[in-house]
Chain A
Amino acid sequence: MGVVIQGVPVVRGRAQGLTLVTNEPISFWGGFDHHTGEITDRRHPLSGQKATGRILVVPFTRGSSTTTAVLLEAIRSGTAPAAIITTSVDSFFALASIVADEMYAKSIPIIALDSSSFSSLQTGMELEIMEDGSIHVRTDIN
């Protein structure tokens, strides 16, 4: 049995994947290409990384109101992250997943963590997210 972290399920769902972690907030508008799933903000530490299918771990959104619309496009077309984990409840990500659920019956889990649990996550960990917001870490935390 690996470590289990209890998160707050902002939008419930199940997902599994490898983490992509950053401490830098992000705007999906101008920062994420929903055609390719790539992080395109050239000033962001994750610039050039592909987020599709990954569990994106980012403190919160910054910048544009259009982040929601970009994530909705990505969920519709299958280029979105498998799930998103934030430090506090991020309404921009949550709304995209809720509207995707209402429109397409397709949503991704959005989980909020306290800052110490958040900082225990590193890029490349394999996580499984459960309906109740619990996060099962399938790799060792060093």
Chain B
Amino acid sequence: MTLNLTTRDQAMQAGEYGPAVKMAMRVLVRMAEVYKAAELMDISAAHIDSTIYIGEAGLEFAERLAELGAQVAVPSTVNVSGLDEFHWQEWAVPEDWARNAYRQMVAYQNMGCIPTWTCAPYQTDMRPQFGQQIAWGESNAIVFANSVIGARTERYPDLLDICCAITGRVPAVGLHLTENRAGDILINLEDVPVTLQNDDSFYPVFGHLIGKIAQDRIPVIDGFKVKPTEDQFKAFGAAAASSGTVALFHIAGITPEAQTIEAAFQGKSPVEIVDITMSDLWDARRDLTTADGQQLDMVVLGSPHFSLAEFKELSPRLQGNHVHPGVQFLVTSSRSMMLLAEKAGYLESLQAFGGRVTVDTCILATPMLPPEIKTLMTNSAKYAYYAPGLLGTEVTFGSLDDCVRSAIAGRIVRDDSLWEL
């Protein structure tokens, strides 16, 4: 298929809109050819994941665009950075890392990005609307925007998201188009009791399982007896987008493009039907834990970034208690969410408990943990999934209650009762 560019696209490619637009358009056009797109289309917002500092190349790419005068053409939020510029000196972040990660933040801010610095941009003022065409990076944000909101984004990789934001254009392919948003496989949840469906820790575990089952196919889930909260959807999507390539899911009768199962499949038949059993869920939950003992150095919450509602959930569990002296207790969130939590009084109870907050980044995106932290506990499937490979730590997955109880006890305490057959 040949790519048809508009006169304006061609002018951008030829450099008539300046060298930064030219550079972005060159990459975009080459990628449009990879996607076999027939044309480009407009977007009205972007979320930039390229802000995470990984090394020299990503920084050089950002600074080259910024030096060429790049400006985003649509409102663009930014994902986490490689630095909590307010608290990094309290941790093990090396100075040269801090300097480089900060330079990368400055480059994206100079391009006109809105300094949200969060992996949960759907929980900010910049939340997109149903049907809105957007170019979002960050796997958990992509799946939330597509599935829960019904906005439309392909699964954008780092470096392409900013090229889309600068040109305001994307290849007209994939999840931007209605026909590619139909379900592929049907997941039946009938056998999972409502008591478990009501529990927060069900969502990351179920997401982890769905990512493995669905891989790169669109799952349609039937048999929900409860309506999940925003934060439960967030935990589910982040898990499925870590263990799999899930960029869109439908939940029959609940998510906006799945009023009915038939609507979710756009009249097609599922290519596979999978019944979820308690034994599948037990195995998925076990798979999220790599640690084999009771040793615990840190409890960490907030991947994706903690919301105000999650601070509210946490707060009463901490009151009157204190973290064990051998354990650190950390919540990762964004600068704006931390301010809201502070105004609401939730930060005070966290501090009284002996816990701390890191903002704008997370333990996976900045080298903040000192080497003596070897074992983590978390209620986040995303942390549980990536920490062993990125940090070399062992990890235990548990519910929010398990995490708080373990932090107080100074060793792993878990309640398995909901998960037993």
Contacts and interface: CB of A to CB of B under 8 A. Distances in A.
A98 interface: yes
A65 B160 CA distance: 10
A91 B386 contact: no
A61 B245 CA distance: 7
Given A63-B139, A102-B26, A40 B50 contact: no
Given A65-B138, A65-B161, A73-B55, A102 B389 contact: no
Contact of A65 (B26, B30, B158, B244): B158
A99 B138 CA distance: 19
Contacts of A25: 215-216, 244-245
A69 B52 contact: yes
Nearest to B50: A69
B60 interface: yes
Most chain B beta-carbon contacts within 10 A, residue among A29, A43, A65, A96:
A65
Given A63-B242, A103-B64, 13 more contacts: A63-B139, A63-B241, A63-B244, A65-B137, A65-B156, A67-B158, A69-B58, A69-B159, A73-B56, A91-B160, A95-B34, A98-B31, A103-B60
Interface in A73-120: 73, 75-77, 89, 91-92, 94-96, 98-100, 102-104
Contacts of B159: 68-69, 72, 95-96, 99
Interface residues of A, number: 40
What range describes how many residues of B lie at the interface? 35 or more
A70 interface: yes
A27 interface: yes
Contacts of B290: 42
A121 B241 CA distance: 28
Given A60-B245, A102-B23, A69 B158 contact: yes
B243 A62 contact: yes
A29 B64 CA distance: 23
B243 to A, nearest CB: 7
Interface string B28-39: 001100111000
A66 interface: yes
B142 A70 contact: no
Contacts of B386: 27, 29-30, 63-64
13 contacts: A25-B244, A30-B364, A43-B389, A63-B242, A65-B142, A65-B157, A68-B158, A72-B58, A77-B57, A89-B34, A95-B27, A95-B157, A99-B61
A75 to B, nearest CB: 8
Contacts of B50: 69
A95 B135 CA distance: 15
A128 interface: no
Interface in A16-58: 25, 27, 29-31, 34, 40-43
Nearest to B211: A62
B388 interface: yes
Given A29-B386, A41-B389, A62-B243, A72 B57 contact: yes
Contacts of A72: 57-58, 61, 159
Given A43-B287, A91-B34, A63 B243 contact: yes
Contacts of A70: 54
A129 interface: no
A17 to B, nearest CB: 22
B216 A65 contact: no
B244 A30 contact: no
Contacts of B390: 29-30, 40
Given A65-B155, A95-B159, A98-B30, A27 B242 contact: yes
Given A66-B49, A66-B158, A73 B389 contact: no
Given A66-B158, A102-B26, A103-B61, A95 B31 contact: yes
Given A10-B34, A73-B55, A95-B160, A64 B242 contact: yes
Closest 8 CB pairs of A and B: A68-B157, A30-B386, A73-B55, A69-B158, A30-B389, A76-B57, A65-B137, A42-B388
